[in-house]
């Protein structure tokens, strides 16, 4: 589902516009909280997704930390995601959302457009500050967070896009905390029953090495 940059975005001056590559929850437009201008699916070369520990902003009793997604630079790796075009004035709010992450500039040649022209503005990707940590405590993945991520990939890239997401993300050996019905993740989404079944079946198959019919 490719979407072109809106006329409004094209009319903005480069210094008024910024773009950031979403590879996790930012792929789900429902979770976006700024008055962003437009967004479109793209492909990023030279980064790979991984699960990394991160303190949860809204601390839940007994669960102050969990594993959330990060991106780390890996040669010859390619990941799909959503390029969000936003007003530069909103960048501080996005930085606050991505606290614990470093905002890293993306060279234009690393971006492969799946529709539309190359952006004429700064492009960033957020890398977790725990990427360089030598110890990974293996904190659990929040199911409420994973649901938001997978729903975003399903919407933007279809069922194969969800499978590709699992195949290009490291760290799924850690446990999943079943908080779907009492979400810890502050931007939790509501799933359709068919989405829930698809995600659960696919994740089980991925973690057990089985093949779905």
Contact 106, 84 (CB under 8 A): no
Q: How far is CA 155 from the centre of its chain?
A: 13
10-residue mean pLDDT series, the chain (213 residues): 46 79 98 94 97 67 77 97 95 94 96 88 95 84 97 98 96 93 93 97 90 68
* β-pair type (111-113, 63-87): unpaired
Position 54 scores a pLDDT of 78
Domain ranges of the chain: 7-208
Q: What CATH number belongs to 7-208?
A: 3.10.490.10
* H-type alpha helices, the chain: 7-11, 91-97, 143-167, 193-208
């Amino acid at each position: 589902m490719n979407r072109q940059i809106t006329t409004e975005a094209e009319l903005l001056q480069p210094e008024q516009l910024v773009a950031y590559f979403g590879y996790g929850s930012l792929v789900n437009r429902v979770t976006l909280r700024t008055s962003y201008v437009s967004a479109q699916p793209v492909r990023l070369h030279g980064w790979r997704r991984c699960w990394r520990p991160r303190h949860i902003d809204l601390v839940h009793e007994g669960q102050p930390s969990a594993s959330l997604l990060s991106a780390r630079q890996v040669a010859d790796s390619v990941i799909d995601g959503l390029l969000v075009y936003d007003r530069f004035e909103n960048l501080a709010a996005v930085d606050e959302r991505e606290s614990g992450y470093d905002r890293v500039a993306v060279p234009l040649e690393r971006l492969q457009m799946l529709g539309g022209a190359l952006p004429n503005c700064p492009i960033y990707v957020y890398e977790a500050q725990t990427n360089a940590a030598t110890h990974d405590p293996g904190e659990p993945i929040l199911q409420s967070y994973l649901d938001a991520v997978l729903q975003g990939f399903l919407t933007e890239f279809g069922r194969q896009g969800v499978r590709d997401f699992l195949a290009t993300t490291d760290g799924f050996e850690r446990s999943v905390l079943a908080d779907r019905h009492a979400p810890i993740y502050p931007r939790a989404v509501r799933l359709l029953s068919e989405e829930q079944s698809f995600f659960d079946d696919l994740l089980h198959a991925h973690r057990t090495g089985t093949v779905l019919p």
